Amino acid sequence: MFYRFMKATLGTILRVFYQPWIRGAENIPGSGPAILASNHLAVIDSFFLPLMISREVVFLGKQDYFTGRGLKGRFVAAFMRGVGTIPVDRSGGKASEAALHTGLRRLRQGGLFGIYPEGTRSPDGRLYRGKTGVARLALESGAPVIPVAMIDTNVAQPIGKRIPKLHRIGIVVGQPLDFSRYRGLENDRFVLRAITDEIMYELMRLSGQEYVDIYAATMKTRLAAAKKEPGKKQDAVAAAAAAAPVGAPGGRPVPEVTVPVPADGELGAEAGTTPEPGATAPAERPAAQDSTDARLSTGPDVPAGAP
Protein backbone atom coordinates (compact mmCIF):
# COMPACT_ATOMS: atom_id res chain seq x y z
CA MET A 1 0.00 0.00 0.00
CA PHE A 2 2.72 2.47 1.02
CA TYR A 3 4.73 1.52 -2.07
CA ARG A 4 1.86 2.47 -4.39
CA PHE A 5 1.16 5.62 -2.39
CA MET A 6 4.77 6.78 -2.69
CA LYS A 7 4.83 6.10 -6.43
CA ALA A 8 1.62 8.08 -6.89
CA THR A 9 2.76 11.07 -4.81
CA LEU A 10 6.54 11.33 -4.78
CA GLY A 11 6.68 9.71 -8.21
CA THR A 12 4.51 12.43 -9.73
CA ILE A 13 6.72 15.15 -8.26
CA LEU A 14 9.92 13.53 -9.51
CA ARG A 15 8.49 13.03 -12.99
CA VAL A 16 7.48 16.68 -13.29
CA PHE A 17 10.77 18.16 -12.09
CA TYR A 18 13.34 15.61 -13.30
CA GLN A 19 11.67 14.28 -16.47
CA PRO A 20 13.29 10.83 -16.17
CA TRP A 21 13.60 8.70 -19.29
CA ILE A 22 13.97 4.95 -19.67
CA ARG A 23 15.24 2.84 -22.55
CA GLY A 24 14.90 -0.94 -22.84
CA ALA A 25 11.91 -1.16 -20.49
CA GLU A 26 10.61 -4.12 -22.49
CA ASN A 27 13.52 -6.20 -21.15
CA ILE A 28 11.92 -6.33 -17.70
CA PRO A 29 9.43 -9.23 -17.62
CA GLY A 30 5.84 -8.54 -16.71
CA SER A 31 5.84 -11.43 -14.23
CA GLY A 32 8.19 -13.94 -12.68
CA PRO A 33 11.46 -13.58 -10.76
CA ALA A 34 14.32 -11.44 -12.03
CA ILE A 35 17.38 -9.77 -10.56
CA LEU A 36 17.94 -6.11 -11.46
CA ALA A 37 21.69 -5.49 -11.20
CA SER A 38 22.41 -1.76 -11.29
CA ASN A 39 25.38 0.56 -11.12
CA HIS A 40 25.25 2.81 -8.07
CA LEU A 41 25.96 6.52 -8.46
CA ALA A 42 23.76 8.22 -5.85
CA VAL A 43 21.22 7.65 -3.09
CA ILE A 44 18.46 8.66 -5.49
CA ASP A 45 19.13 5.56 -7.62
CA SER A 46 16.81 3.77 -5.20
CA PHE A 47 14.12 6.39 -5.84
CA PHE A 48 14.16 6.70 -9.62
CA LEU A 49 14.52 3.06 -10.62
CA PRO A 50 11.39 1.89 -8.74
CA LEU A 51 9.58 4.97 -10.07
CA MET A 52 10.19 3.97 -13.68
CA ILE A 53 9.27 0.31 -13.29
CA SER A 54 5.62 -0.74 -13.21
CA ARG A 55 6.33 -3.82 -11.07
CA GLU A 56 7.31 -3.55 -7.43
CA VAL A 57 11.04 -4.03 -6.89
CA VAL A 58 12.82 -4.51 -3.57
CA PHE A 59 16.44 -3.42 -3.13
CA LEU A 60 19.19 -4.01 -0.63
CA GLY A 61 20.11 -0.81 1.20
CA LYS A 62 22.91 -0.05 3.64
CA GLN A 63 22.00 -0.09 7.32
CA ASP A 64 22.80 3.63 7.64
CA TYR A 65 19.74 4.52 5.56
CA PHE A 66 17.54 3.25 8.38
CA THR A 67 19.26 5.04 11.27
CA GLY A 68 19.51 8.61 9.98
CA ARG A 69 18.59 11.58 12.16
CA GLY A 70 16.93 14.86 11.43
CA LEU A 71 14.17 15.53 8.92
CA LYS A 72 16.09 14.11 5.98
CA GLY A 73 17.21 11.02 7.91
CA ARG A 74 13.69 10.23 9.09
CA PHE A 75 12.27 10.74 5.61
CA VAL A 76 14.84 8.43 3.99
CA ALA A 77 14.30 5.78 6.67
CA ALA A 78 10.52 5.94 6.26
CA PHE A 79 10.81 5.74 2.49
CA MET A 80 13.20 2.79 2.60
CA ARG A 81 10.97 0.85 4.98
CA GLY A 82 7.85 1.74 3.04
CA VAL A 83 9.17 0.44 -0.26
CA GLY A 84 10.46 -2.74 1.33
CA THR A 85 14.19 -2.04 1.16
CA ILE A 86 16.20 -4.75 2.91
CA PRO A 87 18.84 -3.34 5.30
CA VAL A 88 22.28 -4.89 4.92
CA ASP A 89 25.33 -4.71 7.15
CA ARG A 90 28.16 -4.14 4.66
CA SER A 91 30.80 -5.40 7.07
CA GLY A 92 30.13 -8.82 5.56
CA GLY A 93 29.84 -12.20 7.26
CA LYS A 94 26.55 -13.56 8.57
CA ALA A 95 24.76 -10.20 8.37
CA SER A 96 25.38 -9.95 4.63
CA GLU A 97 24.42 -13.58 4.11
CA ALA A 98 21.11 -12.96 5.88
CA ALA A 99 20.29 -10.08 3.53
CA LEU A 100 21.05 -12.22 0.48
CA HIS A 101 18.84 -15.01 1.81
CA THR A 102 16.01 -12.49 2.17
CA GLY A 103 16.51 -11.54 -1.47
CA LEU A 104 16.54 -15.21 -2.44
CA ARG A 105 13.17 -15.72 -0.73
CA ARG A 106 11.69 -12.84 -2.71
CA LEU A 107 12.95 -14.30 -5.97
CA ARG A 108 11.51 -17.69 -5.11
CA GLN A 109 8.18 -15.95 -4.55
CA GLY A 110 8.34 -14.65 -8.13
CA GLY A 111 9.29 -11.05 -7.37
CA LEU A 112 11.80 -8.52 -8.66
CA PHE A 113 14.91 -8.04 -6.56
CA GLY A 114 17.37 -5.19 -7.06
CA ILE A 115 21.03 -5.25 -6.10
CA TYR A 116 24.03 -2.98 -6.52
CA PRO A 117 26.96 -5.32 -7.29
CA GLU A 118 29.51 -2.60 -6.46
CA GLY A 119 28.30 -2.76 -2.86
CA THR A 120 28.42 1.01 -2.34
CA ARG A 121 28.09 4.24 -4.30
CA SER A 122 30.84 5.10 -6.75
CA PRO A 123 33.13 7.72 -5.19
CA ASP A 124 33.89 9.40 -8.53
CA GLY A 125 31.31 8.38 -11.12
CA ARG A 126 33.32 5.43 -12.44
CA LEU A 127 32.18 1.80 -12.41
CA TYR A 128 33.93 -0.41 -9.86
CA ARG A 129 34.55 -4.13 -9.46
CA GLY A 130 31.42 -6.09 -8.63
CA LYS A 131 31.04 -8.32 -5.60
CA THR A 132 29.95 -11.88 -6.24
CA GLY A 133 26.73 -11.94 -4.22
CA VAL A 134 24.74 -11.18 -7.37
CA ALA A 135 26.20 -14.28 -9.05
CA ARG A 136 25.28 -16.49 -6.11
CA LEU A 137 21.73 -15.15 -6.16
CA ALA A 138 21.43 -15.87 -9.87
CA LEU A 139 22.66 -19.45 -9.52
CA GLU A 140 20.69 -20.30 -6.38
CA SER A 141 17.44 -18.79 -7.65
CA GLY A 142 17.72 -19.59 -11.34
CA ALA A 143 16.43 -16.07 -12.06
CA PRO A 144 17.77 -14.06 -15.00
CA VAL A 145 19.97 -11.05 -14.29
CA ILE A 146 18.88 -7.82 -15.98
CA PRO A 147 21.63 -5.16 -16.10
CA VAL A 148 20.35 -1.64 -15.41
CA ALA A 149 22.41 1.51 -15.92
CA MET A 150 21.50 4.65 -14.01
CA ILE A 151 22.49 7.77 -15.95
CA ASP A 152 23.45 11.13 -14.38
CA THR A 153 22.04 10.52 -10.90
CA ASN A 154 25.49 11.51 -9.62
CA VAL A 155 25.19 14.79 -11.52
CA ALA A 156 21.88 15.52 -9.82
CA GLN A 157 23.15 14.36 -6.45
CA PRO A 158 26.94 14.35 -6.03
CA ILE A 159 28.29 12.63 -2.92
CA GLY A 160 27.70 14.90 0.06
CA LYS A 161 24.76 16.75 -1.49
CA ARG A 162 21.55 16.14 0.45
CA ILE A 163 18.95 17.63 -1.86
CA PRO A 164 19.39 16.69 -5.53
CA LYS A 165 19.47 19.53 -8.02
CA LEU A 166 17.25 19.53 -11.08
CA HIS A 167 18.84 17.42 -13.78
CA ARG A 168 17.32 14.93 -16.17
CA ILE A 169 17.80 11.31 -15.05
CA GLY A 170 18.10 8.35 -17.40
CA ILE A 171 17.77 4.57 -17.07
CA VAL A 172 19.02 2.06 -19.64
CA VAL A 173 17.84 -1.54 -19.23
CA GLY A 174 19.86 -4.27 -20.91
CA GLN A 175 18.80 -7.68 -22.14
CA PRO A 176 18.38 -10.47 -19.55
CA LEU A 177 21.47 -12.58 -18.85
CA ASP A 178 20.84 -16.31 -18.34
CA PHE A 179 23.35 -18.20 -16.19
CA SER A 180 21.32 -21.38 -15.72
CA ARG A 181 24.09 -23.38 -17.42
CA TYR A 182 26.14 -22.91 -14.24
CA ARG A 183 23.44 -24.08 -11.84
CA GLY A 184 24.94 -26.07 -8.98
CA LEU A 185 28.28 -24.23 -9.14
CA GLU A 186 27.36 -21.47 -6.69
CA ASN A 187 30.27 -22.44 -4.42
CA ASP A 188 32.88 -22.24 -7.19
CA ARG A 189 34.63 -18.91 -6.70
CA PHE A 190 35.95 -18.87 -10.27
CA VAL A 191 32.45 -19.28 -11.70
CA LEU A 192 31.11 -16.59 -9.37
CA ARG A 193 33.83 -14.15 -10.39
CA ALA A 194 33.38 -14.84 -14.11
CA ILE A 195 29.60 -14.34 -13.90
CA THR A 196 30.01 -11.14 -11.92
CA ASP A 197 32.53 -9.81 -14.43
CA GLU A 198 30.10 -10.50 -17.28
CA ILE A 199 27.39 -8.53 -15.47
CA MET A 200 29.77 -5.63 -14.82
CA TYR A 201 30.87 -5.66 -18.46
CA GLU A 202 27.27 -5.21 -19.55
CA LEU A 203 26.85 -2.37 -17.06
CA MET A 204 29.97 -0.76 -18.49
CA ARG A 205 28.55 -0.98 -22.00
CA LEU A 206 25.13 0.33 -21.01
CA SER A 207 26.31 3.20 -18.80
CA GLY A 208 29.37 4.38 -20.72
CA GLN A 209 31.33 4.48 -17.45
CA GLU A 210 35.05 3.89 -17.17
CA TYR A 211 35.70 0.61 -15.32
CA VAL A 212 38.08 0.41 -12.36
CA ASP A 213 39.25 -3.07 -11.35
CA ILE A 214 39.15 -2.60 -7.59
CA TYR A 215 36.25 -2.45 -5.17
CA ALA A 216 34.61 0.94 -4.64
CA ALA A 217 35.02 0.56 -0.87
CA THR A 218 38.78 0.14 -1.38
CA MET A 219 38.93 3.31 -3.44
CA LYS A 220 36.98 5.20 -0.78
CA THR A 221 39.54 4.09 1.81
CA ARG A 222 42.41 5.24 -0.41
CA LEU A 223 40.79 8.59 -1.09
CA ALA A 224 40.17 9.14 2.62
CA ALA A 225 43.82 8.39 3.35
CA ALA A 226 44.96 10.70 0.54
CA LYS A 227 43.03 13.57 2.06
CA LYS A 228 45.15 13.23 5.21
CA GLU A 229 48.44 13.41 3.33
CA PRO A 230 50.53 16.56 3.83
CA GLY A 231 50.56 19.03 0.98
CA LYS A 232 47.82 19.77 -1.48
CA LYS A 233 44.81 17.61 -0.72
CA GLN A 234 43.47 17.81 -4.28
CA ASP A 235 46.75 16.57 -5.76
CA ALA A 236 46.88 13.60 -3.39
CA VAL A 237 43.29 12.63 -4.12
CA ALA A 238 43.85 12.93 -7.87
CA ALA A 239 46.98 10.78 -7.62
CA ALA A 240 45.12 8.08 -5.68
CA ALA A 241 42.33 8.00 -8.26
CA ALA A 242 44.77 7.91 -11.18
CA ALA A 243 46.70 4.99 -9.66
CA ALA A 244 43.67 2.69 -9.78
CA PRO A 245 43.78 0.00 -12.50
CA VAL A 246 41.31 0.67 -15.32
CA GLY A 247 40.23 -1.48 -18.25
CA ALA A 248 37.33 -3.90 -18.58
CA PRO A 249 35.98 -6.62 -16.27
CA GLY A 250 37.75 -9.97 -16.51
CA GLY A 251 40.50 -8.62 -18.75
CA ARG A 252 38.18 -8.24 -21.75
CA PRO A 253 38.89 -5.77 -24.55
CA VAL A 254 37.72 -2.30 -23.58
CA PRO A 255 34.65 -1.41 -25.68
CA GLU A 256 34.10 2.00 -27.22
CA VAL A 257 31.23 3.46 -25.25
CA THR A 258 29.66 6.82 -24.53
CA VAL A 259 27.28 7.96 -21.82
CA PRO A 260 23.73 7.51 -23.20
CA VAL A 261 21.51 10.54 -23.74
CA PRO A 262 17.78 10.60 -24.48
CA ALA A 263 16.95 10.38 -28.16
CA ASP A 264 14.79 13.00 -29.86
CA GLY A 265 11.25 12.61 -28.61
CA GLU A 266 12.20 10.03 -25.99
CA LEU A 267 10.09 10.51 -22.89
CA GLY A 268 9.76 8.69 -19.61
CA ALA A 269 7.56 5.61 -19.52
CA GLU A 270 7.19 2.89 -16.94
CA ALA A 271 8.56 -0.51 -17.82
CA GLY A 272 5.95 -2.51 -19.66
CA THR A 273 4.36 0.46 -21.42
CA THR A 274 4.46 1.35 -25.10
CA PRO A 275 7.26 3.75 -26.10
CA GLU A 276 6.25 7.25 -27.08
CA PRO A 277 5.55 7.72 -30.82
CA GLY A 278 8.51 9.21 -32.64
CA ALA A 279 11.08 7.98 -30.14
CA THR A 280 14.30 6.96 -31.81
CA ALA A 281 17.07 4.74 -30.55
CA PRO A 282 20.74 5.68 -30.53
CA ALA A 283 23.38 3.75 -32.43
CA GLU A 284 24.08 0.37 -30.91
CA ARG A 285 27.32 -0.17 -29.05
CA PRO A 286 29.80 -3.01 -29.70
CA ALA A 287 28.72 -6.37 -28.33
CA ALA A 288 30.75 -8.24 -25.74
CA GLN A 289 33.68 -9.87 -27.50
CA ASP A 290 34.10 -13.01 -25.41
CA SER A 291 32.06 -15.23 -23.13
CA THR A 292 32.00 -16.12 -19.48
CA ASP A 293 32.83 -19.74 -20.32
CA ALA A 294 36.20 -18.81 -21.84
CA ARG A 295 37.39 -17.18 -18.60
CA LEU A 296 36.36 -19.68 -15.92
CA SER A 297 39.81 -21.18 -15.52
CA THR A 298 41.54 -17.82 -15.03
CA GLY A 299 39.26 -15.96 -12.61
CA PRO A 300 40.93 -14.45 -9.53
CA ASP A 301 40.52 -15.88 -6.06
CA VAL A 302 37.74 -13.89 -4.39
CA PRO A 303 35.45 -14.57 -1.43
CA ALA A 304 32.21 -16.17 -2.57
CA GLY A 305 28.92 -14.64 -1.55
CA ALA A 306 30.02 -11.08 -0.83
CA PRO A 307 27.10 -8.71 -1.49
The pLDDT tens digits of the residues spanning 204-244 come to: 999 999 999 999 999 999 999 988 887 777 787 888 888 88
Nearest-angstrom CA–CA distance, 122 and 219 = 9
**Is 204 within a domain?**
yes
pLDDT number for residue 267:
62
Question: Averaged over 1-30, what is the pLDDT?
Answer: 88
CATH number, domain of 61, equals: 3.40.1130
**Is 304 within a domain?**
no
**Is 305 within a domain?**
no
pTM of the complete model beyond 0.85: no
Nearest-angstrom CA–CA distance, 75 and 81 = 10
Distances (CA, A) of 55 to 34, 38, 143, 279: 11, 16, 16, 23
**Is 262 within a domain?**
yes
* Residue of 302 and 124 predicted with greater confidence: 124
Starting at the edge strand found earlier in the chain, the sheet holding 211-212 runs 127-128, 211-212, 246-247
Closest to 229 in 3D by CA, of 240, 244, 220: 240
* Biggest CA-to-CA distance, the chain: 57
**Is 218 within a domain?**
yes
| Domain ranges, residue 168 | 2-295
Residue 224: enclosing H or E segment and its boundaries? helix 216-227
Number of domains within the chain: 1
Residue 3: enclosing H or E segment and its boundaries? helix 2-18
Residue 153's pLDDT band, with cuts at 50, 70 and 90, is very high
**Is 163 within a domain?**
yes
- pLDDT above 60: residue 188: yes
- pLDDT above 50: residue 298: no
b/e sequence 15-33, b meaning 16+ C-beta within 10 Å = beebebbbbbbebbbeeeb
**Is 233 within a domain?**
yes
- pLDDT above 90: residue 278: no
Residue 24's pLDDT band, with cuts at 50, 70 and 90, is very high
Residue 275's pLDDT band, with cuts at 50, 70 and 90, is very low
**Is 213 within a domain?**
yes
